[in-house]
Structure 1
Amino acid sequence: MTESGPDASDAAALYVFAVCDSPDPARLTDVPGFAVGAPLRTLPCGDLTAIVQTVPAADFTDEAWQARMSDRGELERYARAHHHVVSAAAATCPTVPLPLATLYRGEARARQALVAENGRFRAALERTAGHSEWGVKVYASAPPPEEPRPAPLGRVAPAGRPRPAPGAGLAYLERKRGANARRERCHEESLRVAETVDTAFRGVAAAVRRLRLHGPELTGGARPQVLNATYLVAGHRAHELDRLAGELRDTTGAEIELSGPWVPYSFIGEV
């Protein structure tokens, strides 16, 4: 939270979704925000305007929010509601999204804090106006399957079972080393492809952020992720992205995921 969480005894808190440059309040009338709160409204803060909602303070205490963080479904519900409001505002004017669960104890406290940050908000608006965020993920190619090579059999043991031929253990170790070498070469090639993809998208983007790679528990697949990046792209160049992704798939054979356009959360700086 922006402030330490409001006490459960407080009647209400002010939730701030975003700071905008001249939003159209009429475009937000059908956006619910959080179902537990009052209707969305605007709050002037210097020469900018915040999109806010009055919510029950008891639902956003530190204890309540920590409990919500451990409930994936509940956390996703709040994150989607937050994103829906931010996206609706961004569709009408340049918008700086604020982090999830940004709350203040009353309008006066909110206005004072937001006005103090107007310079940074202005810089973020200038940096992202007319741009959207696009995500690009690249996954490693699967290593080629090892050709089965049956081990030669030696003479028959007294119990009727074949004995391994001389040198069978060494052959097994060599096959093991060969398989590891193939996997390593495949992974190195995937990393080279990831850099090729990143370089190509950088040629279209105004700014880039390389994000932490997702593990298999998040990607849901056995193929490791080798690129997880997000690109700030001007609106007049967005039409180039699908074509670029298709060309890179054809030339590299890589599995490339392109997602967007999104509100440029990753490029607003520390606000």
Structure 2
Amino acid sequence: MSAAPSTPSASAPPGPPELTYVYAVTPPAPSVRRLLPGLTGVGGRPVTLLHAPGGDPGPVTLVISDVPRREWDEDALRARFEDLHWLEDAARRHHAVIEALAAHTTVLPLRLATLYEGHAGALDVLRAQGQEFATRLARLSGHTEYGVKVYVRPTAPVEVTAPPDAGAPAEAAGAGPGRAYLRARRSQRQAHEDHYRQARLAAERLAAVAGRFAVERVGHPLQSGPLTAASPGENVLNDACLVPDAEVDAFTSALEGAVRDLPGVLLEVTGPWAPYSFAASPPPPPAG
């Protein structure tokens, strides 16, 4: 008896398509393509380029990773953003990709967890906003972001801590530890007010320096709360400046000179950074 022909087994239904995670927008530079094989993105995923199909990549490309939907869709992210260890790892990997790119080309960084519905969704954004991205990249070319922070130095604590005895005679309260305490408190208050006066003057001077050297300047929220416990004082200025690369040395020297005669404040200049503060906001994903 001949065997009956076997019936092909039904194929398993395809899984949900991956999402496309976008780190940044860059020009289609050969140096970027050579760099990518050595990069590892979020979740340990490979980093690749995505550009418009066809022979001409267009004025800009997207630096991407394809990530599993089950780990990166809205529901998954809502839970993962509560996991500080996961969030720190994702942020570090995101930042590492952008910093590596910035060392070789002009880069337009995008926010952590910028996600689209596969390559098609990301290409829709590229087609709609490609020229806008190209204009912004041209503006950023040859410029670097630097942070400028000013802190008010804390005043020295009052050394005489014993207040005058409320039950002592008036003539006794005017001398000894009581009088020294009042003098010390008055001196501390005056020093505190002087430090804030210097901080206002520093802010005016630094704004003038930024006006001379920076092509753009933005103010960030002042640092406060538990995470600033190790800071050198109260943060009263937290700016980001976009500075031409040829002017960096003159810019930093002018900043230092602006506060040299203001001992009540501390200047902190950070950078160079990829231009996070000056990146255009990425467009929202297509509806649905």
Common fold, TM-score beyond 0.5? yes
Q: Between the two proteins, what is the percent identity of the paired residues? A: 30
2:267 aligns with one of 241, 246, 256: 256
Find 2:94's aligned residue among 74, 79, 82. Answer: 82
1:188 aligns with 2:197: yes
1:44 aligned onto 2:51: yes
Going from structure 1 to structure 2, the CA distance change for 1:153 and 1:217 (only over 3 Å counts) comes to closer
3-state SS of the aligned residue for 2:261?
helix
Residues 1:270 and 1:151: Cα distance change in structure 2 (over 3 Å): closer
2:214 partner SS: coil
Question: Does the Cα contact within 8 Å between 1:13 and 1:54 map onto a contact in 2?
Answer: yes
Aligned to 1:225: 235
2:25 is matched with which residue?
A: 19
Deviation, structure 1 residue 50: 0.9
Amino acid at match of 1:267: F
Helix, strand or coil at the partner of 2:38: coil
Q: 1:234 Cα shift? A: 0.8
Partners of 2:59 and 2:131 within 8 A in 1: no
Contact 2:209 2:251 in 1 (8 A): no
Correspondence for 2:118: 106
Distance 1:173 1:234, change over 3 A: same
User: What pairs with 1:88-127 in structure 2 (closer than 5 Å)?
Assistant: 88-127=100-139
Q: Deviations over 1:217-265 (max 9, x none)?
A: 2322362011111100111112234433443453323311111111111
**Match of residue 32 from structure 1:** 40
**Residue identity opposite 2:47 in structure 1:** L
Flag structure 1 segments of 5+ consecutive residues without an equivalent: 1-8, 155-162
User: Which of these residues, 69, 74, 82, is aligned with residue 62 of structure 1?
Assistant: 74
User: Aligned pairs, how many?
Assistant: 254
Please give the alpha-carbon distance, in whole angstroms, between the structure 2 residues aligned to 1:22 and 1:149. 66
Runs of 5+ in structure 2 lacking a partner?
A: 1-14, 53-57, 283-288
Partner-residue secondary structure (3-state), 1:251? coil
| Secondary structure at 2:260 match in 1 | helix
Tell me the distance in 1 between the aligned counterparts of 2:19 and 2:151: 43
1:140 paired residue number: 152
Distance 1:212 1:85 in 2: 26
Could you tell me which amino acid in structure 2 is paired with residue 200 of structure 1? V
SS in 2 for 1:10: coil
In structure 1, the residue matched to 2:246 is 236
Cα RMSD, aligned residues only:
2.9
Does the C-alpha gap of structure 1 residues 259 and 164 become closer, same or farther in structure 2, counting only changes over 3 Å?
Answer: same
Secondary structure of the structure 2 residue equivalent to 1:117: helix
Q: Taking structure 1 as reference, are residues 11 and 106 closer, same or farther at Cα in structure 2, changes over 3 Å only?
A: closer
Q: Which has the larger radius of gyration?
A: 2
Distance 2:128 2:165 in 1: 81
User: Taking structure 1 as reference, are residues 183 and 106 closer, same or farther at Cα in structure 2, changes over 3 Å only?
Assistant: same
3-state SS of paired residue (1:99):
coil
Contact 1:213-1:226 at 8 Å conserved across structures: yes
SS state at 1:67 partner: helix
Q: Which one of 165, 168, 174 corresponds to residue 169 of structure 2? A: 165
Q: Is the 2:25–2:60 Cα contact (8 Å) retained in structure 1?
A: yes
CA spacing shift, 1:180–1:66, aligned 2, 3 Å: farther
Does the residue aligned with 1:16 lie in a helix, a strand or coil? Answer: strand
Q: Quickly say closer, same or farther: Cα 1:152–1:141, change in 2 above 3 A.
A: closer
Q: Distance in 2 between matches of 1:251 and 1:202?
A: 21
Q: TM-score scaled by structure 1?
A: 0.81
Which residue matches 1:205? 214
Counterpart amino acid of 2:74?
D
Equivalents in 2 of 1:152, 1:117: separation in Å? 71
Structure with more strand by fraction: 1
